Structure 1
Amino acid sequence: MTCHNRREKTKGCLVNLFKQKFPEKLEMAVFVCDDGSIDGTKEMIGECFPRVQVVLGNGNLYWGGGMRMAWKEAQSKGEFDFFLWLNDDTNLYEEAILSLWNDYQQVYPLAIITGACQSAITLEWTYGGREEYGPIFPKLYPQKIRYINGNLVLIPVAVNDKLQGILPIYAHYIGDYDYGLRAQEAGFTCYTSSKYLASSEPGIIQYYGDPKYSLIKRLKLVYGVKGLAIKEYFHYKSYPYGKWVGIKTLIAIHLKALSASLYKLLGL
């Protein structure tokens, strides 16, 4: 896990994690990167969850960097059979880990399972597995998917031995999508869970092509780490689809940001 100034969310997530029942003979070690929190997150973890091993970031790691730091710490402390990604705004349901494990037994051994999440307010799908056309909803059995969200993901160590974690080029977004695509290229399969395993509310997305924003704000959304992060996005689009697709994507994005009407006029 990685966290930054979300003490109560982090606490709630860890409470639910430590309430979980685990399959026989499996034990859990928890590693959290506290990326420069100033709200007492580190102290809260030390007081309430003494078993959790905390590494400290500089406040500029974001999701990708924080996950890499926590993962590196875990790998330095022992040999594990599996790694479990968990976001601190993801609240596990009762027996979520057991359900995830049972799904894994159906697709064993060379597979990644991402847990389907829903809104606690609307009960609608929010995160999990996706295809090109949209989200894949749970259907009481594990379903193959193309894209994984990183909120709750079970990864066998054999998979990560080939992939070696989230790529350093990804600071905040897209690293989970890329990880799943690289896994499939390496011969592994990605699945989504058979049912909803947690609640996680969708983030607010500001669209870089929205004409109600000023040009400066639209460009900030294109280049910002928590926006589109255009350098990372170019790498992501170029990796599976080729550099020409990446270049066309760059042109289209900048045209949208500069002028949505021009983009439509050119028919891109």
Structure 2
Amino acid sequence: MQNFAVLLTCFNRKEKSLAALESLYKAKEVLNKDVVMSVYLTDDGSTDGTSEAVKKQFPAVKLLKGSGDLYWAGGMRNSWSAALKNNYDAYLLLNDDTKPYSNFLVDLFETHNYCIQEYGKGGVYIGATLDEDTNEMTYGGSVFTNKFKGNYKKLIPNGEFPQACELGNANILLASKDAVEKIGGLSDGYVHGLADFDYTLKAKKNNIPVLLAANYLGTCTNDHIDKYAKFVTLPLSERLKMLYNPIGFDFKSHLVYMKNHFLYRLPLVFIMGYFKVVFPKIYKNKILRK
């Protein structure tokens, strides 16, 4: 690879965004100096001074303004669209709350070389992350245990070689030029979540290798709270709003995901979405626990 683009989006997480960028640039120093890195960051209306701080500390970053309602999927699509105007050899998706290790770019490039050697073409590469405090795995690559039900398990990096996976979190995800030329960037329709799962499934459907890197590539805390604890206490009108809220249950993205990959489950998911709005305690206590 001669060059690659790094894609990020942010909203009011200045310190985390700056830490992610600092770790990224330190990792670039470890990589081959001849490889050119370009960074695209969509700031979706931050009011905490993120853009100003980025301009000051990382002037090379290409700052893009969001509409204020892009959320994660929309912000990443915006950064990717800008990067696609140039002909990069790869596109690295990096969450702004992720702190990559200093060797993570080297590991990703080695994963790419492994993919070329084993499959004869470039693929999509996932980097697993650990919780900085507990040292437990938070994000990475997964394989289905029951595709009909949509059940899956996370793969543990083995420290030796990349493993084929079916689903990948885009906390750290590198899409090769071969992959992007065939399937493009993140799909439209996703508001906040599931766009990364969609991307890896889309790659698999198009015979593009999806590999989990051999080593852990960074740290990221899983800060997703138990939404149901609050959900069951809300009045009906607020539960309905939370169902569709992108940082609530992001129902629209779930329906798009089912339509694209699990059409047979779409009617059930649609019905259960409204069931939990009307009967939240029954859903939480009887259905979620199964």
Structure 2 length as normaliser, TM-score? 0.85
Report 1:1-268 matches (<5 A): 1-20=8-27, 21-23=30-32, 25-76=34-85, 78-108=86-116, 109-132=121-144, 133-140=152-159, 141-208=161-228, 212-216=232-236, 217-242=238-263, 244-259=264-279, 260-261=281-282, 264=286
Separation (CA, whole Å) in 1 of partners of 2:42 and 2:230: 34
C-alpha separation between the residues in 2 aligned to 1:193 and 1:213?
Answer: 42
Work out the number of aligned pairs and report it.
264
**Tell me, which stretches of 5 or more residues in structure 2 are unaligned?**
1-7, 145-151
Bigger Cα displacement from structure 2, 131-140 vs 20-29: 20-29
**1:23·1:101 contact (CA, 8 Å) conserved in 2?**
no
CA apart distance, 1:227 = 1.9
Residue identity over aligned pairs, in percent, reads 30
Contact 1:115–1:152 (CA under 8 A) maintained in structure 2: yes
Checking the alignment, whether the CA contact within 8 Å between 2:141 and 2:169 is kept in structure 1 is yes
Of the structure 1 ranges 212-221 and 150-159, higher mean CA displacement relative to structure 2 is found in 212-221
CA-to-partner distance for each residue in 1:28-53, whole Å, 9 max, x for gaps? 01111111111111111111111111
Aligned partner letter, 2:54: I
Deviation at 1:256? 3.1
Secondary structure of the residue aligned to 1:214 is coil
Describe the shift of the 1:68–1:204 C-alpha distance in structure 2 as closer, same or farther (beyond 3 A): same
Consecutive unaligned residues of structure 1, counting only runs of 5 or more, are: none
What is the CA deviation profile of residues 65-115 of structure 1, one whole-angstrom value per residue up to 9, with x for unaligned ones? 111111111122x21100000111000112111112112211223311110
TM-aligned CA distance change 1:123 to 1:251, over 3 Å = same
TM-score by length of 1: 0.91
In structure 2, the CA distance between the partners of 1:6 and 1:209, relative to structure 1 (3 Å rule), is closer
Structure 1 residue 207 displacement after superposition: 3.6
Looking at structure 1, the residues matched to 245 and 33 of structure 2 have their Cα atoms a distance apart, in angstroms, of 45
CA shift in 2, pair 1:26/1:249, >3 Å: same
CA RMSD of aligned residues (A): 2.0
Which deviates the most, 118-127 or 203-212? 203-212
Aligned AA (1:122) = T
| 2:155 partner amino acid | I
- Partners of 2:48 and 2:228 in 1: CA distance: 31
Quickly say closer, same or farther: Cα 1:135–1:218, change in 2 above 3 A.
Answer: farther
CA distances 1:150-178 after superposition (whole Å, capped 9, x unpaired): 10111112211222211221111010010
Cα distance in structure 2, aligned partners of 1:86 and 1:30: 10
Indicate if the aligned counterparts of 2:123 and 2:210 stay in contact, CA closer than 8 A.
Answer: yes
Residue 36 of structure 2 aligns to a residue whose secondary structure is: coil
- On the 8 A contact 1:116/1:197 being kept in 2, the answer is yes
Residue 166 of structure 2 aligns to which amino acid in structure 1?
R
